[in-house]
Amino acid sequence: DILKANVYVFTPKGEVVELTAGATPIDFAYSIHTEVGHRTVGATINNKIAPLNTSLKTGDIVSIKTNKNASPSEDWLKIVKSSHARTKINAYFNKAKKKEYYTLGKKYVDEELSKNHLDFNLTDEFVYKNFVKQSCENIEDLLVEIGKGNISPKTVVAKIQGKEVDRELMLKRQMERASRQLKANPETGIYVEGLDNAKIKLANCCNPVYGENITGYISKSTGIIVHRKDCHNLKEVDSNRTIEVYWADEVNIKYPTWIKINGQQRNSLLTDILTHLSSLDIPVAEMSASSKGLLGSSVSLKVLVKDINALNHLMVNLKKVADVYTVERETK
């Protein structure tokens, strides 16, 4: 029923505005004009001041108060009901964040140039020649990616100096950092309700990371072994020996897990992969690589990540590396 799916309200001039049921004055403001929405500071409904999260009803007369210096709040995304308003608010923050990333990226590059006593002005031609494989075609693209942490300013300086990244040194430093982090964070960040001192271990077969759906398996000798719920090894166990386990609300741990990268056979593929990992500040604890001849090459990496979101972000970025076919979790 369209009357139940929508509400019909009036502007102070008597014009009818159709909105999604449950819509708020913010939805109303964005339906009038994007700038009205962006500059909204208050609203009146039927000549009475009302909160911006008020649900509008058919027949309401809505007036919006604006201020030219006002801007949207990210909290509005929890309030609005219409996809139109949500799209406009997201677009505003995406644009603002892009500007922040650009400024941050420029700062990082300037600092790295100064550290290396280099006087160099970036050009679109330089960026396209050296970073088009990372989807950067101009200076703005590059600085935004650096600001996001997807490309390291050290890589830019290396390109300016005409140097190749020392793959072995990079891997050695990443492994040393990973080793230190593993030793410094022995806890799992997992608890079992009703058990204060449970002996808990993360499964080596599926290597769960914070935020994933997990299940505990009661082992006779090693306590509770925690698996991802989709781990193929859980299909083989007695369900009577499984137990519910939970992630703690806050953890400060880096979790080891394996990923497998398949790509075209070329000499610099591993270097490009390690460069991406370095720019994202992802330590590598172990690594193995194999060649499949004409079928390409395969790289297995044991990386340390803080949670599933960081892991997904890493995998999405590794797929952007030229000549990479697939990036997937590796289980044993």
Owning domain of residue 12: 2-81
Instruction: Give, for 108, the enclosing helix (H) or strand (E).
Output: helix 83-115
Bridge-based pairing state of the strands 16-20 and 40-45 = unpaired
Same-domain pairing of 283 and 302: yes
Q: Is the pLDDT of residue 221 over 60?
A: yes
Q: Is the pLDDT of residue 43 over 70?
A: yes
- Predicted confidence band of residue 167 (pLDDT cuts 50, 70, 90): low
pLDDT tens digits for range 49-82: 999 999 999 999 999 999 988 888 888 998 999 9
Q: Is the pLDDT of residue 184 over 50?
A: no
The answer to the question of residue 209 being in a domain is yes
Same-domain pairing of 98 and 75: no
Same-domain pairing of 7 and 60: yes
Same-domain pairing of 311 and 265: yes
DSSP 66: E
Same-domain pairing of 104 and 215: no
Same-domain pairing of 135 and 284: no
Number of domains making up the chain: 4
Same-domain pairing of 154 and 200: no
- Predicted confidence band of residue 151 (pLDDT cuts 50, 70, 90): confident
Q: How far is CA 240 from CA 134, 232, 234, 237, in A?
A: 49, 17, 12, 9
**DSSP code string of 206-269:** T---TTS-EEEEEETTTEEEEEETT-GGGGGS-GGGEE--EE-S----PEEEEEEEEE---TTH
Among 78-82, 183-187, 287-291, the minimum mean pLDDT is found in 183-187
Same-domain pairing of 149 and 60: no
Same-domain pairing of 141 and 283: no
Same-domain pairing of 151 and 191: no
Among 16-20, 166-170, 289-293, the minimum mean pLDDT is found in 166-170
- The structure's pTM equals 0.48
Same-domain pairing of 132 and 39: no
3-state helix, strand, coil in the chain (%, to 5): 40, 25, 35
pLDDT tens digits for range 108-150: 899 989 988 888 899 999 999 988 888 889 999 999 988 877 7
